[in-house]
């Protein structure tokens, strides 16, 4: 009897010890690496801030590195993060091709990867991606311009395009998607595609030259970071008119930076396909936390929809909490 009692006591002890160890493991500190290309834009800052807000609320440590636009720096920094013993990593790639080797290195170390925005060329070792459909956004703007052309009775819409950096996947997708759709629509032509390398000074110089030499009545921007460049140049040449004016130059853009969404409100930009940077960051960190905890994700690829913002809907209640409107620089 005494022997059975001792055996029972030993079993209980083993169970308590095992459960106790499991609880301690579950409560271990989690550290997530965050690799950002830069923090120079309000878009990247919004992602960064939301990631840290949620991590703090969950008691998660975030170790951040910033590549300042250099893919070699980003790759070196990711290597350092892996050496530090992180439990998961969030990466917004500088270069979607070169980053694949860093993602593979994460897989070799057993560190799950959550990707923000730019989709890597090889997704084999990526655990989660949150991105947007750039092709859809570009085609939506082209269709909106076509509708405006029809409503205004314009025979030929002649468009100047301000491209981003054509080494960037996003810029390429937006430009190709827009041009492909324009070719399908009657009475629309891209008369000049201006590469800018996301350089405001270069964009201003080249758009200034184009505005003096091209016969155009519409402008398409693959990012609204060029909004001030475009509107100021048009103003300088006496070409900036309200959207209700017959002489209005139609303007369409993508991104929805709060700094520039007021151009829609003021009636100079017709449409801006806005991305909620806060939600992008939120989806990225939530997935990274779940992966670090060994949890299964409901989906491994999430496409965040663009929100078309126009003068007609900019004050709608359902847009009040969108990053572009909530933090609008009025």
What digits encode the pLDDT tens for the residues 77-87? 999 999 999 99
State whether 64 and 119 are in the same domain.
yes
Percentage of residues in the chain having pLDDT higher than 90:
87
Cβ–Cβ under 8 Å, residues 314 and 294: no
171, part of any domain: yes
Nearest CA among 158, 144, 173, 120 for reference residue 300: 120
DSSP-assigned letter for residue 295: P
The Cα–Cα gap between 206 and 194 comes to: 7
Average pLDDT of the residues in 141-165: 97
**pLDDT grade for 167, boundaries at 50, 70 and 90:** confident
State whether 150 and 174 are in the same domain.
yes
State whether 122 and 225 are in the same domain.
no
Q: Would you call 127 helix, strand, or coil by DSSP?
A: coil
State whether 268 and 280 are in the same domain.
no
Nearest CA among 185, 270, 201, 203 for reference residue 193: 203
119, part of any domain: yes
150: left (phi over 0), alpha (psi -120 to 50) or beta: alpha
State whether 246 and 138 are in the same domain.
yes
| Residue 80's CATH number | 3.40.50.2300
Number of domains forming the structure of the chain: 2
pLDDT at 169 (0 to 100): 87
Q: Would you call 315 helix, strand, or coil by DSSP?
A: coil
What residue numbers bound the domain in which 57 lies? 25-132+276-304
What's the burial of 59, exposed, middle or buried (CB within 10 Å: 0-12/13-18/19+)? exposed
Average pLDDT of the residues in 71-99: 96
Reply yes or no on whether the pLDDT at 1 is more than 70: no
Which stretches of the chain are DSSP H helices?
2-26, 42-58, 71-84, 99-108, 134-152, 169-184, 200-213, 227-236, 262-265, 277-292, 323-326
6, part of any domain: no
The Cα–Cα gap between 28 and 250 comes to: 56
Burial 225-234 (b: 16+ CB within 10 A, else e): bbbebbbebb
Whole-number average pLDDT of the chain: 91
Hey, what are 88's tokens? 């998961």
Percentage of residues in the chain having pLDDT higher than 70:
91
Average pLDDT of the residues in 236-241: 97
State whether 147 and 222 are in the same domain.
yes
State whether 80 and 174 are in the same domain.
no
State whether 178 and 282 are in the same domain.
no
3, part of any domain: no
State whether 157 and 230 are in the same domain.
yes
Nearest CA among 329, 301, 188 for reference residue 250: 188
pLDDT at 286 (0 to 100): 97
Average pLDDT of the residues in 283-299: 96
The Cα–Cα gap between 312 and 310 comes to: 5
State whether 263 and 288 are in the same domain.
no
The Cα–Cα gap between 52 and 37 comes to: 16
Q: Would you call 155 helix, strand, or coil by DSSP?
A: coil
The angle at the Cα of 273, spanning 133 to 247, to the nearest 5 degrees, equals: 140
Reply yes or no on whether the pLDDT at 168 is more than 80: yes
Average pLDDT of the residues in 115-132: 96
State whether 150 and 247 are in the same domain.
yes
54, part of any domain: yes
Record the pTM. 0.86
State whether 223 and 245 are in the same domain.
yes
72, part of any domain: yes
Average pLDDT of the residues in 39-44: 91
Average pLDDT of the residues in 207-228: 96
Residues 6 or more apart from 166 whose CB is under 8 A from it? 172, 175, 195
268, part of any domain: yes
**pLDDT grade for 245, boundaries at 50, 70 and 90:** very high
Average pLDDT of the residues in 169-184: 96
Reply yes or no on whether the pLDDT at 11 is more than 50: no
Better-predicted residue by pLDDT, 60 or 23: 60
């Amino acid at each position: 009897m005494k022997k059975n009692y001792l055996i029972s006591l030993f079993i209980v002890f083993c169970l308590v010890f095992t459960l106790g160890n499991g609880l301690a493991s579950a409560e271990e500190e989690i550290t997530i690496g965050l690799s950002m290309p830069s923090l120079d834009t309000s878009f990247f800052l919004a992602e960064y801030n939301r990631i840290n807000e949620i991590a703090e609320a969950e008691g998660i440590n975030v170790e951040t590195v910033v590549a300042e636009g250099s893919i070699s720096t980003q790759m070196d920094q990711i290597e350092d993060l892996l050496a530090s013993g992180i439990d998961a990593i969030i990466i917004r790639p500088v270069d979607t091709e070169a980053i694949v080797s860093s993602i593979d290195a994460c897989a070799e170390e057993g560190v799950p990867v959550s990707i923000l925005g730019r989709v890597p060329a090889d997704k084999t070792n990526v655990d989660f991606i949150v991105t947007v459909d750039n092709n859809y956004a570009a085609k939506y703007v082209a269709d909106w311009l076509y509708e405006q052309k029809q409503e205004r009775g314009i025979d030929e819409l002649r468009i100047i395009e301000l491209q981003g950096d054509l080494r960037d996947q996003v810029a390429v997708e937006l430009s190709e998607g827009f041009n492909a759709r324009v070719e399908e629509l009657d009475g629309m032509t891209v008369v000049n595609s201006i590469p800018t390398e996301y350089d405001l000074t270069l964009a201003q110089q080249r758009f200034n030259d184009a505005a003096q030499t091209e016969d155009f009545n519409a402008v398409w921007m693959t990012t609204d970071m060029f909004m001030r460049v475009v509107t100021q140049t048009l103003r300088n040449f006496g070409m900036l008119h309200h959207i209700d004016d017959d002489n209005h130059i139609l303007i369409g853009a993508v991104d929805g930076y709060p700094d520039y969404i007021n151009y829609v409100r003021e009636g100079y930009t017709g449409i801006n396909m806005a991305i909620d940077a806060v939600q992008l960051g939120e989806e990225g960190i939530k997935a990274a936390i779940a992966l670090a905890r060994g949890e299964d994700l409901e989906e491994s690829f999430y496409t965040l929809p663009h929100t078309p913002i126009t003068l007609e809907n900019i004050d709608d209640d359902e847009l009040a909490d969108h990053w572009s409107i909530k933090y609008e620089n009025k």
